[in-house]
Structure 1
Amino acid sequence: MERLRGLFGEGWAVEAVPGFQQDSSDWHTDRMLEIRATDMGSVVRYVVDLKSSLTPRTVDTELLGKLRLVRQVNSFTSLLVMAPWVSLKTQELLRAHGISYLDLTHNVWIRADRPAIFIYTEGQTRAPRTASQSSSAVTLSGSKAERLVRILADVRPPYRASDLAQATGLSLAYVSRLLGALEDQLLIRRDGRTIRTVNWQGMLRARAEHSNLLNLNPYSGFIAPNGTNYLLDQLNDPFVSRHLLAITGSYAAREVAPLSVGGQLMIYIRPDHFSDELVDHLGLLEVKQQADVLFLDAHDSVVFRRSRLVDGLRHVALSQLALDCLSGPGRLPAEGEAVLERMAADEQWRNLDIHTIKDWKAA
């Protein structure tokens, strides 16, 4: 209430409607707020829904039904949800459905037609850490999350958590917890225990928000004295081809969705395959800055799963390419969005059967 009054300032009254709440001791039941312009007498009312936490799934399963009911009762009454914190994705969903919101980190969106009200402020983009939060809460960070995200993107449903755990080598407990988090964000939808749909584009973007390509994969930078095109030809050399390599980043993205020219040549390599002998064979010069070639020590063998041959050279899978670009530096995120667009235009790459996967586990 204090936050609301501070936002509206003088000339407005923000008050609870007396008698709306039957049990004054229960703050989890709905309340009614009245916002009134004191000089005009115009009034708008909001049914307030208090949430200790709020996810896109809460909006989808609880708030939309309540919004329809509120509007049926009175077209001039709307819904205002209050929570300690509201994520960016949840904010977008609430705005799309015309549900006002306020959190205690200054994320606010309040709109009404009569009287004309529009308030929009941006607060924290990440949830404030509280003493009650578990340090072991599952997130989309880390190698294990990427392995699960990749298989969810590349394999068409239906399947269950147990199928995913068996295919990836991850524990069933971990897979179940991460699937619960994805379901809360409406990135997957289940019928009972069976996953029926996967929002693979949203999921890849969400994973990229929790990752950083160059932080996740330690790298070494080099100059190719004879140019990157000469280096690409060298990658087919019998000595080089014995190493586990896969091209990612701008060079791979241009083969899928040409958006720009230039950029660093990024090559994944298994850490135990990288050696001074390989560097010397390719004629590379190691540098700390202005490198035009980066060798990335693959954080997990999943980056090589479903790699593709493009003009005789191994490129990462489309879903891995999108992840790498979206979480990369410079113009890579824009290239990642272009890759996603091409992937959505033809989903033939999502042709795996969960029961035929044999090599998704970590090496």
Structure 2
Amino acid sequence: MNSIRDNKERIGTLALIMTGGLGRAGRTALIGRYGSAGGVLSAPKGELSGGFGLSAASLEALVGGKSFESAAKEFEAALILGVKILFPFDDGWPPALKDSGIAPEVLYVKGEFHPSDFFSVAIVGSRRATAYGLEAAGFIASELGKMGVATVSGLARGIDARAHRASLDAGARTIAVLGNGLATCYPSEHRRLAEEIADGRGSVVSEFPLDTPPDRYTFPRRNRIIAALSLATVVAEAGDKSGALITARFAADEGKEVFAVPGPIFSKTSAGVHSLIKSGAKLVHGVSDIVDEIAYLAGWAGAVSPSRDAQAAGGGVSAAGASAVPLEPEEKRILDELKKVSSGVSIDSLENATGIQAGELSGLLVGLEIKGVIRALPGKHYAAASAV
């Protein structure tokens, strides 16, 4: 426990996030002024009282140590539960969230993120799904799983649970994003499913403090993380007021593809899906409609070998087989640059040398790492695998 409390910057970061009445903009401004979360917590009360939107109670909690103490206890409780608390500055932060405009400030994680999780597709839909909707969600998740593509969903009844289960049955990974804290599982009947996911098959995540109960405000926030973690979102079945439509909107706002599975014209649980199609979502007739539309996904699925499960567990193809992995022209440009410097190259230097924009470059680097031809080094540097 003492080692947790010794990490004052991590505790301080969580303390600022957990402080009521202090929004994200206020936290960013405070850290920008004082250089770190620890600097904020050490600042004189008089300096913090103006211009940052802090209420009197919030200000007292910060300077009086109550916020820090609450955050320290949260870390200790997470340790007992086997939950990791990640921030954007952590090496384990999901690559898909690094350039997202809707990423959370913190993630509670049970299980593990894997580099291959970058190549994931969200499958969402109605809690009160029909047999048709369940079959469609299961089929899509299963076929994607056979290609090594992970799924992301919300562990809810209906479509979500079917997608998670189909991915697991296909030997693939899956990520469950909850609308409550990880101290409890909601719905409770999916506890065993959540445990199976977290036990080496994916991760169960939330942005909410451990004891946060689910409510009508937490689920829309949860939905944006589902969209942010995925390369695309598939709505398998949804009525015209389904929360799955919120996920689709977040995905579209992020510039990501939205796919929709058409249903019977008389089915109320397909009304929302049909509205999405009329608004420009791509109709799904088969899994190839999804994979072929996304260059990253097509490249990943095409490179996955029959030893996919071993890759997912170990993090890439063998060194002996790396030279046989097909590379896109952009990937070859990156690899050529890395081969010039055996000690590693920073992302900024790679961006300048290759002319590939940061967002696209991050995705390409993840793909190359998974293919086993490059290695990530400390300090966000990369090197060719042969040089490591």
Q: Shorter chain as normaliser: what TM range?
A: under 0.3
User: Larger % of helix: which?
Assistant: 2
TM-score (ref. length: structure 2): 0.23
Whose radius of gyration is greater, 1 or 2? 1
User: Larger % of strand: which?
Assistant: 1
TM-score (ref. length: structure 1): 0.25
